[in-house]
Amino acid sequence: MTAGGTSVGTPNSRDEAKEPGTPLARHAAAGYSRGTTSSEAARLEPEMPRQPKAYVAIWQGFFGSLMIFAGSIGAGWIANGSPMFRHPLVIALRTDGWGVTTSTILLTAGAMLLVRSWLRLGQRLKEWGPGSLRSVVIAVAAWAAPMMFAVPIYSRDVYAYTGQGRLVLEGQDPYTTGISSLSNWFSLGADPAWAEAKTPYGPYFLWIAKWVVGITGAQPDLSVLLFRLVALVGVLLCVVYIPRLAELHGIIPGRALWIAVANPLFLISFVASAHNDALMVGLAVAGMYFAATGRHITGILLVTASIGIKPITVLLLPFVGLMWAGPAASWARKFLFWGATAAISFGVLALSGIPYNLGFGWVWAILDPTPGYTGYSPSGFLGQQVEVIANLLGLPGSALATGLRTLMKWAGIGLVVLLMFRGDYSRLVRRAALAFAAVVMLSPIIQPWYILWFIPLLALTGIRNDWQIKSLYVAITFFVAFGAQDQISVLSFVELNVKVSSLAFVVAVGFTIYLMVLDIHTRKLLIRSTPAELFRRLERWLRFPAQ
């Protein structure tokens, strides 16, 4: 049985939603899920065998998180101005070949061990009976705790936050000025790519960054810790409201939280890396919950707060407006409530731009996106193939590739508009999730943590135990493995026999192969056959390819 899906209701879904009083709650409870909902799990629980204990996977993941913490000291991003560089242990781990090598292995293996722990936790809680939600919450807390004190890994954007806070504190406009205008800016630890870049963040996050810098005096290590606490607020909002929204839609709360928050990409990106996206997602999920349960103004204000952290969640406003309009709304009423939703949200944001003279700079951050593409995004990859083939045919490959990427980006916007106008009222949160996914997946640039913008909304409206969950396994594993070898800090003068990125790549790929082929538990998640059976099938195919 699956743990939730789409399109067809379940007999007990109204009981699961606890007789919701709002239109969306009633519609969602009646028409959202297929497969095993939380009410069915409770009904079937006496017939189920006792669930295997989750503590084995939880302890294994905690050990993996400790490995990440230890590895980050020698391979994570430390700001140039940090006093950590004067500590003897840090000096040894970052300047000696053995220290850098050991740290790289610990960091990469720890991240992959966390992937295995997450997969095994899902297997051990596969019946998702009573107590499963508590087990997932414990896992999230245990796995996140060591990362709270790790050196930033997978990204050093958190150091740019400090620079942007300094800009606001010194009366400069981060929407027009890069951090290179700051004295001694390089000691902050930010990527040089931020030197001339305008901030893409909303006014509320710039307020937070200013307050952090005001408290820490821009001391990089203390600033990272405070930004982590800010991100932790977003994680906690997800822990609270994802299960509630899942239950509203007839989806098992524990499984939704396991998919959305316990996954290692979420914890590494939102705790270890301290991305402000954590607070953005947490506020967005909370806003969708309040809107879905009839408290529409509160929902609008929370989504507006999310926009004020990172403006991409403006995509959710049309769906909140539809919730407010109600299930039987005419087109005139829908447009009226869309207008009212926009007026409230943008009016609040306009007032929020007055302090520190920030204005509507965040709008230009949306309209002036980062140029280029990532090779693993669908449009980036397809564009590369088009460029190669076109060049071979004597055609302008670069122009055709750029055109394709632009077309796919606008196709994502078109899908958002289509989902605004078409679809069942009971599926509004699902439609919002799909709109978010369309914009992200069809964008030319996808950072690993971008997929975390829409995974929570998909999880709480149902991800089936078929190709959907398998696709998630692949995506999470890929981005965890990719980040481990892509973002490793090594001092330029350190001499190594093997590049650390190559070493991390070998460890990550080796661990992935182990999970897929050798591990008797996790290999069942993607491939049902044993290695011997796969070998026999391959041998037969080589002998008789026509068959």
Q: 397 and 262, same structural domain?
A: no
**Full residue range of the structural domain in which residue 327 is found:** 54-370+445-488+498-526
Q: What is the pLDDT of residue 28?
A: 53
The band of 3, judged by pLDDT with boundaries at 50, 70 and 90, is very low
**Contact criterion met (CB below 8 Å) for 404 and 383:** yes
Query: What would the DSSP string read from start to end of 201-224?
Result: S-HHHHHHHHHHHHHHTT-HHHHH
- Amino acid in the structure at residue 258: W
Does residue 508 lie within any of the structural domains? Answer: yes
Residue found under tokens 């969306």: 24
Q: Provide the pLDDT confidence category of residue 534 given band limits of 50, 70 and 90.
A: low
Give me the sign of the Cα torsion angle 522, 526, 529, 531. Answer: negative
pLDDT digits (tens, 9 = 90+) for 37-88: 554 444 434 444 455 688 999 999 999 999 999 999 999 999 988 999 889 9
Say yes or no to pLDDT of 529 above 90: no
Please tell me what DSSP assigns to residue 160: H
Q: pLDDT of 359-401, one tens digit each? A: 888 787 666 667 778 888 899 999 999 999 999 998 998 999 9
pLDDT classification of 276: cutoffs 50, 70, 90: very high
- Mean pLDDT calculated for residue range 296-322: 96
Q: Which comes out higher in pLDDT, residue 2 or 498?
A: 498
Cβ proximity of 4 and 252 under 8 Å: yes
Residue 2: band (very low, low, confident or very high) from pLDDT cuts 50, 70, 90? very low
Q: Name the average pLDDT for the chain.
A: 86
- What pLDDT sits at residue 536? 63
Q: For residue 519, how far is the Cα from the chain centroid?
A: 27
Q: What residue type is assigned to position 493 of the chain?
A: F
Which of 10-19, 42-51, 105-114, 468-477 shows the lowest mean pLDDT across its residues?
Answer: 10-19
Q: Which two tokens stand for residue 152?
A: 């930033």
- State whether 73 and 203 are in the same domain: yes
Cα–Cα dist 458/255, whole Å: 12
Beta-carbon count within 10 A of 114 CB? 27
What is the structure's pLDDT at 440? 94
- Would residue 401 count as lying in a domain? yes
Three-state DSSP at 254 gives: helix
Q: What is the pLDDT of residue 287?
A: 97
Q: Are 209 and 164 contacting, i.e. CB atoms less than 8 angstroms apart?
A: yes
Q: Are residues 408 and 269 in the same domain?
A: no
546 in a domain, yes or no?
no
Residue 263 belongs to a domain: yes
187 is a domain residue: yes
Nearest to 531 by CA among 519, 543, 542: 519
List pLDDT tens digits, range 84-107.
988 999 999 998 889 999 999 999
**First-to-final CA distance of the chain:** 33
Tell me how far apart the alpha carbons of residues 200 and 473 are, in angstroms, rounded to a whole number.
30
* Amino acid 33: pLDDT: 39
For residue 51, the model assigns a pLDDT of 52
Cα 49 versus chain centre, distance: 34
Residue 14 placed within a domain = no
Residues 381 and 345 in one domain: no
Distance, in Å, from the CA atom of 305 to the CA atom of 301, rounded to the nearest integer, reads 6
Dist. CA 28–CA 448, nearest whole Å: 31
Q: What is the pLDDT of residues 258-274, one digit of tens each?
A: 999 999 999 999 999 99
Please report, to the nearest 10 degrees, the dihedral formed by the alpha carbons of residues 537, 538, 540, 544 taken in order: 130
The answer to whether residues 334 and 247 belong to one domain is: yes
Q: Which two tokens stand for residue 277?
A: 């996206």
For the ranges 52-61, 127-136, 347-356, 533-542, the lowest mean pLDDT is seen at 533-542
Q: Is the separation of the CB atoms in 146 and 109 below 8 Å?
A: no
Provide the 8-state DSSP code for 399: H
Whether residues 117 and 198 fall in one domain: yes
478 inside domain: yes
299 plus 193 within the same structural domain? yes
**Percent of the chain having pLDDT more than 90?**
66
Contact 188, 220 (CB under 8 A): yes
Count of structural domains within the chain:
2
Helix (H) or strand (E) holding 275: none
Decide: 211 and 227 in contact? Cβ < 8 Å: no
CA distance 143 to 130: 22
What pLDDT, on a 0 to 100 scale, did the predictor assign at position 5? Answer: 35
546 pLDDT tier (thresholds 50, 70, 90): very low
344-354 mean pLDDT: 93
Sorted by sequence, the CB contacts under 8 Å of residue 540 that are 6+ apart come out as 547
Identify whether residues 407 and 326 lie together within a single domain.
no
pLDDT for 365 equals 67
Higher pLDDT, 334 or 30: 334
pLDDT tens per residue across span 443-453: 998 999 999 99
pLDDT of residue 198: 87
Torsional sign, CA 260, 263, 267, 270: negative
Cα(330)–Cα(390) distance, integer angstroms: 49
Identify whether residues 305 and 399 lie together within a single domain. no
How far, in Å, CA of 22 to CA of 293, rounded?
A: 6
Provide the 10 A C-beta neighbour count for residue 394: 7
Dihedral, 462, 466, 468, 472 alpha carbons, nearest 10: 110
Q: Are residues 202 and 276 in the same domain?
A: yes
Residue 138 · residue 190 · CB < 8 Å: no
- The answer to whether 3 and 36 are in contact (CB under 8 A) is yes
Is residue 30 in a domain?
no
Are the C-beta atoms of residues 456 and 473 closer than 8 Å to each other? no
Distances (CA, A) of 227 to 104, 223, 275: 25, 6, 8
- Categorize the per-residue pLDDT at 195 as very low, low, confident or very high, splitting at 50, 70 and 90: confident
- Give yes or no for a contact between 65 and 464, defined as CB atoms under 8 angstroms apart: no
273 shares a domain with 388: no
Say whether 200 sits in a helix, a strand or coil: coil
Q: Which residues contact 463 (CB under 8 A, 6 or more apart)?
A: 3, 4, 5, 259, 469, 472
Regarding whether 259 and 231 lie in a shared domain, the answer is yes
pLDDT for 7 beyond 60: no
